[in-house]
Amino acid sequence: SSRLADFDPELAAAIRAEECRQEDHVELIASENYASPRVRAVQDSVFTNKYAEGYPGRRYYSGCGNVDVAERLAIERARQLFGCDYANVQPHAGAQANAAVFLALADPGDTVMGMNLAQGGHLTHGNPSNFSGRHYRIVPYGLDPETGLVDYDAMERIALETRPRLLIGGFSAYSRHKDWARMRAIADRVGALFWVDMAHVAGLVAAGEYPDPLPHAHVVTSTTHKTLRGPRGGLILASGQGADFYRKLDSAVFPGVQGGPLMHVIAAKAVAFKEALRPEFRAYQRQVLANARAMAAAIQRRGYRVVSGGTDNHLMLIDLRDRPYTGTQADAALDDAGITTNKNSVPGDTRPPWVTSGLRIGTPAVTTRGFGVAECTQLAGWLCDVLDALGEGAHAQVAARIRGQVVALCRAHPVYR
The candidate with the shortest Cα–Cα distance to 257, out of 93, 48, 49, 85, is: 93
Stretch that binds ligand PLP, among 164-172, 289-297, 300-308, 403-411 (CB under 6 A): 164-172
Q: Is 226 a catalytic residue?
A: yes
Q: Is 124 in the site for ligand PLP (CB under 6 A)?
A: yes
Phi-psi region of 173 (alpha: psi -120 to 50; beta: other; left: phi over 0): beta
| Rounded distance between C-alpha atoms, residue 227 and residue 39, angstroms | 14
- Pick between residue 199 and residue 253 the one whose CB is nearest to ligand PLP: 199
Query: Which one of 35, 87, 93, 386 is in contact with ligand PLP (CB under 6 A)?
Result: 93
Determine which one of 27, 71, 197, 275 is catalytic: 197
Q: Which stretch of DSSP H or E encloses residue 11?
A: helix 9-24
Stretch that binds ligand PLP, among 37-45, 53-61, 90-98, 357-365 (CB under 6 A): 90-98
- Pick between residue 125 and residue 369 the one whose CB is nearest to ligand PLP: 125
- The pairing of strands 234-238 and 219-223 is antiparallel
Q: Is 122 in the site for ligand PLP (CB under 6 A)?
A: yes
- Write out the DSSP string of 159-228: HHHH--SEEEEE-SS--S---HHHHHHHHHHHT-EEEEE-TTTHHHHHTT-S--STTT-SEEEEESSSTT
- Pick between residue 192 and residue 199 the one whose CB is nearest to ligand PLP: 199
Query: Scanning residues 27 to 46, which ones bind ligand PLP (CB under 6 A)?
Result: 31
CA dihedral 223, 226, 232, 238 (to 10 degrees): -20
- Pick between residue 292 and residue 337 the one whose CB is nearest to ligand PLP: 292
| Rounded distance between C-alpha atoms, residue 89 and residue 94, angstroms | 11
| Contact residues for 299 (Cβ-Cβ < 8 A; gap 6+) | 306, 316, 318, 380, 383, 384
Q: Is 274 a catalytic residue?
A: no
| Rounded distance between C-alpha atoms, residue 289 and residue 307, angstroms | 17
Q: Is 51 a catalytic residue?
A: yes
Query: Scanning residues 211 to 230, which ones bind ligand PLP (CB under 6 A)?
Result: 223
Q: Is 209 a catalytic residue?
A: no
Determine which one of 24, 53, 85, 388 is catalytic: 53
Stretch that binds ligand PLP, among 65-73, 169-177, 299-307, 362-370 (CB under 6 A): 169-177
405 burial via Cβ count (<10 Å: 0-12, 13-18, 19+): middle
What binding mask, one character per residue, do residues 229-248 give for ligand PLP by CB under 6 A, x or -?
-----x--------------
Q: Is 221 a catalytic residue?
A: no
DSSP character at residue 304: P
Determine which one of 221, 223, 311, 341 is catalytic: 223
| Rounded distance between C-alpha atoms, residue 356 and residue 349, angstroms | 7
320 is known to lie in a ligand binding site: no
Q: Smallest distance, Å, CB 66 to ligand PLP?
A: 26
Stretch that binds ligand PLP, among 62-70, 192-200, 268-276, 384-392 (CB under 6 A): 192-200
123 is known to lie in a ligand binding site: yes
Q: Is 170 in the site for ligand PLP (CB under 6 A)?
A: yes
- Pick between residue 42 and residue 100 the one whose CB is nearest to ligand PLP: 100
Q: Is 90 in the site for ligand PLP (CB under 6 A)?
A: no
Helix (H) and strand (E) counts in the chain = 16, 15
Q: How far is CA 249 from CA 89, 101, 267, 280, in A?
A: 11, 7, 21, 32
| Rounded distance between C-alpha atoms, residue 276 and residue 73, angstroms | 14
413 is known to lie in a ligand binding site: no
| SS3 (DSSP) at 325 | coil
| Rounded distance between C-alpha atoms, residue 317 and residue 314, angstroms | 11
Q: Is 95 in the site for ligand PLP (CB under 6 A)?
A: yes
Strand partners, 223: 234
| Rounded distance between C-alpha atoms, residue 375 and residue 381, angstroms | 10
Q: Is 232 a catalytic residue?
A: yes
Q: Is 200 in the site for ligand PLP (CB under 6 A)?
A: yes
| Contact residues for 374 (Cβ-Cβ < 8 A; gap 6+) | none
Q: Smallest distance, Å, CB 168 to ligand PLP?
A: 9
Query: Which one of 71, 197, 331, 385 is in contact with ligand PLP (CB under 6 A)?
Result: 197
Q: Is 94 in the site for ligand PLP (CB under 6 A)?
A: yes
Determine which one of 23, 32, 51, 144 is catalytic: 51
Q: Catalytic residue positions?
A: 51, 53, 197, 223, 226, 232
Binding positions for (6S)-5,6,7,8-tetrahydrofolate are 117, 121-123
**Which residues are at the interface with ligand PLP (CB under 6 A)?**
31, 93-95, 98, 122, 124, 170-172, 197, 199-200, 223, 234
Binding positions are 117, 121-123
